[in-house]
Amino acid sequence: MKKLYILISFGLACLTLFSCKKEGFLGQTQTTDLTQDKVFKDSVNTMAFLTNIYIKIGFSEAANRFTNGGLDVASDEAEPYDNTAGTTIGFANGSVDANTVSGDAYETCYNNIRAVNVFFKNVDRAPLKAATKVEAKAEARFLRAWYYSILLKHYGGVPLIGDTVYDYKDKIEARRASYADCVNYILAECDKAGQDLPVLQSALLFGRASKSACLALKMRVLLYAASPLFNDPSPGASTPLGIASAAQKPLVGYENYDPNRWKLAEDAAKAVMDLGTFSLVVDNATAPGYGFQYLFTQRQNSEYIWQLMKDQGNRELEGIYLPPSRAGRGGGYPYQELVDAFPMANGLAITNPASNYNANNPYQGRDPRLAYTILRDQSTWITNASLSQIPINIYTVDGKGVGVDAIYAGTKTGYYGRKMLDPAAVPNSFNGTNRCIPLIRYAEVLLSYAEAANEFEGPSKAYPIVERIRQRAGLNPYTLPAGLSKDGMRKAIQDERRLELAFEGHRFWDVRRWKLGDATQTLQMTGLEVQRNAAGVLQAYKLIDVRKHGFSPALYLWPLPAGEVAKSSLTLQNPGY
């Protein structure tokens, strides 16, 4: 477990400091030769040390976490950009193992957890005002809880090291804490941190931890803890709890089922709602569902609770998701199955005979979120050379693509990602965006409340909440069918989470906590070839096979990196690996 000690050089934890520029508390990296002693004798350097711990808060769900995409390409959202990253391919194909899986979650989280502990050890001697120290400690405590929550959803129970700062001479705690103990630790840390933080951060402090973020993280942790993967009334051979040894069981979930865990999740979501601070960004006047697109282009809005700050003028997502003609590369290609999951604008599934879906005009009259999430043939975007909206040619003529963006030449599925992109931004130009990356937003809170309330007491409380999401999306009518059962509402909520939160890092985890691996992650995934003649006239739509996904019970959790397990017999591997 030497990774818990991490790099001795990181014990100095001051090799990289950050300046505060106009864009906020996260600025450009500045390397220094400061020692730990010098850092904590200076107020600016002390706060820069804390700022450094924020840098990786969004790594887990980053669109470029791996060389061929993020967690979207490890799930049923998108096809990997290429086959260079074994972790994403392994999850897609069902072949992940402890020797080849990325250890980035383990290393990144414990690096930053140790940095928090170094901060706690030294901050009291820093020349900061007493009130500043109190709030800085609360921020650090929340950040530690945040990184532990990332470890928890990857691995289940992990070693809890408290405030200890290990060095190379110390005996490292290698035994994994139980899942329940990790949940309780994170909740307690959030409660303690939230007591000393403002509800919101503003001005140059916007983006730093707040009481709202503490409450929202509690909500997410409790929702996951209540879910069937970890809180299972009848664990079978298809889940980690079902295949775990007696020693492994407490590491991968609760050994007893308790329906009241849903009530705890419901109450936690309601606590965020009751703040009265957040609301959905709604604008159906400019265009149906426009608020859903507009919110992601705004640095600050009424929906973001916890976000990763980015420099003003950033183009990172555009550089990942846009087609090659717009200098994009490295992002996943959305699957046809995700496209088909978006209903018609009247709220009815495209498989419903009453929906008015036309297979010969498949994008007409659809849920507005589809166009704001996915680029298809003839979608438009600006280029490096022109601010005019120019169509993206993805079609083929006689089976051959007509340019670098075409299916087979560029995209593997006939689609490119568009979620959270700014229509005024394009890579390799002066046109950027002031966007930051949402890590928890209010739509997630609403859907989490609806899910927990439905599971605990039935669908009545969930109806108006889910309908608020659908109304903002621009659906008309936005109402759900009357008389839904708990099972029917569960399906409606799961569908809404898939669409509303697509490409924000949720789908990979949602299908796991719902125990839907076999149902969703074993399918033949497809794309769509748009066929036109030389004059550009549509001839046909051809469904194509892209990748057969695979799944096994072990894949509900990540394996601990083999190197970590090999360091101590006390470090148990997850079931099935």
What are the phi and psi torsion angles at 530 (to 5°)? Answer: -90, 120
328-348 pLDDT, tens digit each: 999 999 999 999 999 999 999
Check if the beta carbon of residue 442 is closer than 8 Å to that of residue 305: yes
Q: Give the C-alpha separation, 197 to 195, whole Å.
A: 6
Q: Are residues 48 and 165 in the same domain?
A: yes
20-72 pLDDT, tens digit each: 333 455 543 343 557 888 999 999 999 999 999 999 999 999 999 999 999 99
Helix (H, G, I), strand (E, B) or coil at 8: helix
pLDDT at 19: 36
Asked if residue 14 belongs to a domain, the reply is no
Q: Give the C-alpha separation, 498 to 492, whole Å.
A: 10
What stretch of H or E contains 29? strand 29-31
Asked if residue 186 belongs to a domain, the reply is yes
Q: Give the C-alpha separation, 250 to 267, whole Å.
A: 25
Please name which of 572, 554, 503, 566 lies closest in space to residue 90, comparing C-alpha atoms: 554
Asked if residue 74 belongs to a domain, the reply is no
Check if the beta carbon of residue 396 is closer than 8 Å to that of residue 402: yes
Q: How many other CB atoms are found less than 10 A from the CB of residue 483? A: 7
Residue 472's domain comprises 199-309+436-501
Q: Are residues 188 and 208 in the same domain?
A: no
β strands within 188-342, DSSP E: 304-308, 333-334
pLDDT at 130: 97
pLDDT at 33: 59
* Number of structural domains the chain divides into: 2
Check if the beta carbon of residue 233 is closer than 8 Å to that of residue 257: yes
CATH number at residue 205: 1.25.40.900
Please name which of 490, 484, 482, 480 lies closest in space to residue 453, comparing C-alpha atoms: 490
| Res. 1: pLDDT tops 80 | no
Q: Are residues 107 and 169 in the same domain?
A: yes
pLDDT at 31: 37
- Spell out the residues 6+ positions from residue 57 whose beta carbon is closer than 8 angstroms to its own: 143, 146, 147, 308, 439
Check if the beta carbon of residue 211 is closer than 8 Å to that of residue 197: yes
500-522 pLDDT, tens digit each: 999 999 999 999 999 999 999 99
pLDDT at 22: 38
Q: What is the dihedral of CA 309, 315, 319, 321, to 10 degrees?
A: 70
Helix (H, G, I), strand (E, B) or coil at 41: coil
Global pTM value: 0.94
Asked if residue 420 belongs to a domain, the reply is no
Q: Are residues 148 and 217 in the same domain?
A: no
| Res. 8: pLDDT tops 70 | no
Q: How many other CB atoms are found less than 10 A from the CB of residue 263? A: 17
Asked if residue 526 belongs to a domain, the reply is no
Helix (H, G, I), strand (E, B) or coil at 98: coil
Q: Are residues 186 and 205 in the same domain?
A: no
Check if the beta carbon of residue 374 is closer than 8 Å to that of residue 339: yes
pLDDT at 211: 98
Mean pLDDT (whole number) for 119-134: 97
CATH number at residue 132: 1.25.40.890
Q: Are residues 203 and 303 in the same domain?
A: yes
Q: Are residues 229 and 152 in the same domain?
A: no
What mean pLDDT, rounded, does the chain reach? 93
- Spell out the residues 6+ positions from residue 491 whose beta carbon is closer than 8 angstroms to its own: none
Prior bond of 477 cis (ω within 30°) = yes
Instruction: Annotate 165-183 with DSSP letters as a single string.
Output: ---TTSPP--SPPPHHHHH
Q: Are residues 117 and 175 in the same domain?
A: yes
Asked if residue 246 belongs to a domain, the reply is yes
272-327 pLDDT, tens digit each: 999 999 999 999 999 999 999 999 999 999 999 999 999 999 999 999 999 999 99
Q: Are residues 445 and 494 in the same domain?
A: yes
- Spell out the residues 6+ positions from residue 163 whose beta carbon is closer than 8 angstroms to its own: 117, 120, 121
Asked if residue 72 belongs to a domain, the reply is no
Express as a percent the part of the chain with pLDDT over 90: 88
Q: Are residues 144 and 169 in the same domain?
A: yes
pLDDT at 387: 84
Q: Are residues 53 and 177 in the same domain?
A: yes
Mean pLDDT (whole number) for 207-235: 97
> What separation in angstroms does the CA of 412 have from each of 130, 318, 437, 475, 479?
57, 18, 26, 30, 36
Q: Are residues 181 and 259 in the same domain?
A: no
Q: Give the C-alpha separation, 29 to 355, whole Å.
A: 52
| Res. 5: pLDDT tops 60 | no
Q: Of 197, 215, 247, which closes a domain?
A: 197
3-state secondary structure labels for all residues of 457-524:
HCCCCHHHHHHHHHHHCCCCCCCCCCCCCHHHHHHHHHHHHHHHCCCCCCHHHHHHHCCCHHHHCCCE
Check if the beta carbon of residue 448 is closer than 8 Å to that of residue 305: no
Q: Of 142, 173, 197, which closes a domain?
A: 197
Asked if residue 376 belongs to a domain, the reply is no
Q: Of 197, 232, 267, which closes a domain?
A: 197
